[in-house]
Structure 1
Amino acid sequence: MSIYFILLYFFVYGFLGWCTEVGFAAFKTHHFVNRGFLNGPICPIYGVGVTAVITILTPYKSDIIVLYILSVVLVTVLEGVTGWAMDKIFHNKWWDYSDMPLNIGGYVCLLFSIVWGFACLFIIYFIQPLVHDLLAFIPTIVGIILIIILGITLIADLYVTASTIFKFNRRLAAMEKIAAEMHEISEQIGQEIFEKTIRAMDRQEASKEKLATATDEFKEKMQDTASGLKEKTQGTAFELKERAMDARERSQEINEELRSRIASLHARYHESTDKPGRISRRLMNAFPKMESRQHKESLEVLKKRWKR
């Protein structure tokens, strides 16, 4: 089988796979959802998977049992490797079969592998002969031009999508950093309230002790003049009042600074969750079970906010 036909098969089955995903999503949600990883009407994993099945397994076409078993194994390996690679590259899990029985890491599961096996049989015995005859009618030069145009478009689409995902991950990281700063400020406020409460309790205990001491001194020093006692009391009261005012001023300054920081962080956080890009929103709609490995909570916030 020539490289020419392999490349054409890739684009044809990538498009047919995209149509299958869109049709399945429309059946489930009753509206159009672009279920492809890329923006264009193509699912590369279908193109690679079906082309690999056709290229590698056609020699086993005469034995349907062997063909089926090998198809199940091949598509399972391809889906598992693709899911794992995309997870490691983009730090996001794009589909998840964890709720399905007999799954491996959520990337593959027995039920879908069995279904893909039957789909491969249908393609090899019924679809592939039609596709090959159709492509054989296309003049070779036209086919080459189509491959070049579609290849360039695919690479550009892949670049734009990958750039968007990396930018999206940076947004999630920024949201998480802001949330951590807000949590730190909350901890500071809580710590200050705690310290103020402890200081107030200490002052209360100290006041009780001073009152008891003053009472004892008053009893022991009855000979002190009334004017001297009044002057001493006024001096002490003035000193305490000044200390209280200084403490209130410092507390107000700290509170104003914390409020200003919280307001600034809240505005930045809101800005990070606002105005989703078209591609980012499309990817979240296409992969509703997408899970961020590093910023899970931030991704859940965006999912809820962008659904509004």
Structure 2
Amino acid sequence: MSRILGGNDWYHILLWFLTYSILGWVVESAYMSLCNRKWTNRGFARGPICPIYGVGALTVFFALNAYQGNRVQLFIMGALLATFIEWLTARIMNRVFGEVWWDYKDKPFNYKGILCLESTIAWGFYTLFLFGFLHTVVERIVNVIPFWIGRILGVVLVIGFSLDFLYSLYVEKKDSLPDKVTEIRDMIIDRIWR
């Protein structure tokens, strides 16, 4: 297997990404369900994957791995990097969907409701938790999966999530799609059902 990003291979990086994405979805959905006192799916798609957690965790892990010996520096850099990821995600969501799925306007020291000091501080503590405990657990989870099962599982989850995401995106944006996209969709459906 070819090695990338600190000597890690694509197989492990993909399965770490999927594990963080699923764990993030579980934690956030459970937390919001408790807050709302009803089931709340915090992912965009229907399935139990929230890829921003995979992207965030791995970006922080690979970008800050060299600093894990200095907890103060790791805390500060983790808080800033994760806050930047949150800001970038909000910008992308606003551009694509016309909305952001969180609102910090009621929090002190917030910026346009998409960032707040409380979350920035929390990201710093999450970074310490990631390096001190969580990544070791995620590595162990991935390492107990037999390689051939992990490959199949990884491919199935990526394809399943991609289809789920594309369908959810279509449902969300179908009213604003250009007529040409609708014509192509209708032509494909017509050819399939002939």
Report what 2:12 is aligned to.
5
Secondary structure in structure 2 of the residue aligned to 1:154: helix
Q: CA deviation at 1:137?
A: 2.3
- In structure 2, runs of 5+ residues without a counterpart are 1-7, 178-194
Q: Which deviates more from structure 2 when the two are superposed, residues 128-137 or residues 150-159? A: 128-137
Post-superposition CA distance 1:106-135 (Å, at most 9, x none) = 221111111121122112211211221221
Matches within 5 A, 1:1-308: 1-167=8-174
Distance (whole Å) between structure 1 residues aligned to residue 116 and residue 58 of structure 2 = 21
Structure 1: which 5+ runs fail to align?
171-308
The 8 Å contact of residues 20 and 57 in structure 2, kept in 1 or not, is answered as yes
RMSD: 1.6
The code of the aligned residue for 2:145 comes to I
Compute the TM-score of the two structures, normalised by the length of structure 1: 0.52
Q: How far 1:105 sits from its partner (Å)? A: 2.6
**Residues 127-173 of structure 1: per-residue CA shift (max 9 Å, x gap):** 21122122122232222211111110111011011111113668xxx
Q: Distance in 2 between matches of 1:33 and 1:169?
A: 26
Give the structure with the larger helix fraction: 1
Structure 1 runs (4+) deviating above 6 angstroms are none
Equivalent position amino acid for 1:47 in 2: G
Task: State how far apart, in whole Å, the 2-side matches of 1:36 and 1:102 are.
Answer: 26
The structure number with the bigger radius of gyration is: 1
TM-score by length of 2: 0.81
* Equivalent residue letter for 2:79: V
Q: Distance in 1 between matches of 2:124 and 2:169?
A: 30
Question: Once the 2 structures are TM-superposed, how far is the Cα of residue 83 of structure 1 from its aligned partner?
Answer: 0.8
Between 1:7-16 and 1:92-101, the stretch displaced more is: 92-101
Q: Whose relative contact order is higher, 1 or 2, with alpha carbons under 8 Å and at least 6 apart?
A: 1
Q: State the distance in 2 between where 1:90 and 1:32 align.
A: 23
Indicate conservation of the 8 Å contact 2:20/2:138, yes or no.
no
Tell me how far apart the structure 1 counterparts of residues 109 and 94 of structure 2 sit (CA, whole Å).
20
